Amino acid sequence: MLELSNFKLWLTEHKAYSHKTIGNIASRVKRADGILPWFNDAVYQFHLEQSEEYQMLSAAVRSQIKKAVKLYFEFVNDQGAKQDNKRESAMNVLSLFANIGVAEAYLKEIGFNVVVANELIERRAILYSKIYPDTYMICGDITDKKIFDKVVRESIDRGVNIIMATPPCQGMSTVGQKVVDDERNRLVCQVIEAIKEIKPKYSFIENVPMFFNTKIKVGNEKILIPELLENELGNDYIINKYLVDTKDYSVPQSRERAIVLMTRKDQRKEWVIPEKDAKVKTMRDAIGNLPKLDPFITDVDEEELLKIFPHFYERRERALQISKWHTPPHHIKRQVVVMQHTPTGKSAFDNPKYYPVKANGEAVKGFRNTYKRQNWDAPAYTVTMDNRKISSQDNVHPGRFEYTDENGDDIYSDARTLTLYELMIIMSIPPNWPVPENTSEAFLRRIIGEGIPPLFVKKVFEKLL
């Protein structure tokens, strides 16, 4: 079976080709496979070139196919070498639904080797491989038997004995639609089957709190997910279930999660959740040291921008010296103005004079957790995928009193959403996390909103050391 998705990942990592060129190379390998089904032997190239269908092609096309097949052999041999050099230890991890690897950001530094990962979406898988080049990424749908079997086979071959699974939660999330019988809810079944096949010593499953109260259809009946776990794995594993808030583990963000920790019954050490930390970290602890930063107003000219924010450019320059990701968010004027008049911890809906309005002047209707500033002396609210908008929930910087204007109204700084850099801090992502600098900010923002704070994951995994 050709592994074209993983081949493209490998080309992205090892060759200086454009995205279009990589696509063309993969297409030529696929064409070769159509002429002569692929087999991993040096004589493949010889037999391919002797085939009548190949010889009927133009010289240019034959040359392109030949080059592509050689690259594919190089890819296959490289993967074999990585497997031969795998580290045998009690700390080899399979990451399922890996996304770009936010959850595992600290694992390598504490001695855990994520040796295999699986992600459905190619763009995410490519970025994962750039951040974690030592991990064997398998890009594809785990509900596809060929992909599932490959994940299992590679995990066994590479000595995996810990499974970490963070299946998509949109089907049961309170901010999602909670569609009955959402197929994404059933992805836990693939996790269960992987545990049965690989038989790891330990398993970690993370999801939203509704995970424990969600029923899925198995056969002809509906069953609660915790009951399904017990029925399918309870004979071989001790299954510990927890509802946690990551703010209790030094993460400056309140994020409630359902956590399942499984321990194979032949293990001497049982995996349990760590004790809560003594101190809760607040927004002030996390980002209180950062200087003021004004938003960029998209619907005014530069003269008006500088009239509203005289220090815009100097504050932007200072922010960029801190981090490439600490850039002024872009907003429209009417939203910026209402937030300038909104104090820390308050919603603009509480201000009758500077109430949020639409472009036509009509009052905005919304919940009191939108157009709302966060609190300095509490952890951040849960970061969502839609974290770029003032009009979405709990996204606005806490701000500080700046001055009283000519109308006698108090003006507050940082009338904007949090920067990507501030979100990374709140998510407890390590400052040296090697995400490529050319990564799309909008893409990263959405991914961060889906992730689990890696500092919490680190503390849970440290219980196995």
pLDDT at residue 181 is higher than 90: no
Are 138 and 450 in contact, with CB atoms under 8 Å apart?
no
The pTM score is: 0.82
Chain segment 161-175, per-residue pLDDT in tens: 999 999 986 554 444
From the centroid of its chain, how far is CA 188? Answer: 18
pLDDT digits (tens, 9 = 90+) for 337-394: 999 999 999 999 999 899 999 999 999 988 889 999 999 999 999 999 999 999 999 9
User: Residues 102, 169, 225, 425: which is the catalytic one?
Assistant: 169
Length of the chain (residues) = 465
The three state secondary structure string of 393-453 is ECCECCCCEEEECCCCCEEECCCCECCHHHHHHHCCCCCCCCCCCCCCHHHHHHHHHHCCC
pLDDT band of residue 272 (cuts 50, 70, 90) is very high
* Residue the block writes with tokens 């949020």: 356
CA separation (Å) from 106 to 135, 193, 267, 429, 454? 14, 27, 24, 8, 7
- Yes or no: say if 331 and 308 are a contact pair by the CB < 8 Å rule: no
pLDDT of residue 276 exceeding 80, the answer is: yes
Work out the average pLDDT over 242-264.
Answer: 97
d(CA 69, CA 83): 21
Q: Cα(320)–Cα(325) distance, rounded to whole angstroms?
A: 7
Q: Would you state the pLDDT for residue 184?
A: 58
Among 5, 257, 255, 18, CA closest to 117: 5
**Strands 296-297 and 330-331, bridge-based pairing:** parallel
Provide the token pair at 231. 């029925």
Residue 182 has pLDDT above 60, yes or no: no
Q: How far is CA 77 from CA 12, 133, 146, 434, 460, in A?
A: 17, 16, 21, 26, 36
Q: Hey, which of 20-29, 201-210, 213-222, 363-372 has the most confident mean pLDDT?
A: 201-210
**171 strand-pairing partners:** none
Backbone angles phi, psi at 222, to 5 degrees: -100, 140
Cβ 328 vs Cβ 416: under 8 Å: yes
Give the pLDDT mean for 105-120.
96
Is residue 139 among the annotated active site residues? Answer: no
The pLDDT tens digits of the residues spanning 402-417 come to 999 999 999 999 999 9
In whole angstroms, give the CA distance from residue 454 to residue 404.
41
Signed CA dihedral, 395, 400, 403, 408: sign only: positive
Question: Mean of the pLDDT values across residues 30-45?
Answer: 86
Residues 283-339 pLDDT 10s: 999 999 999 999 999 999 999 999 999 999 999 999 999 999 999 999 999 999 999
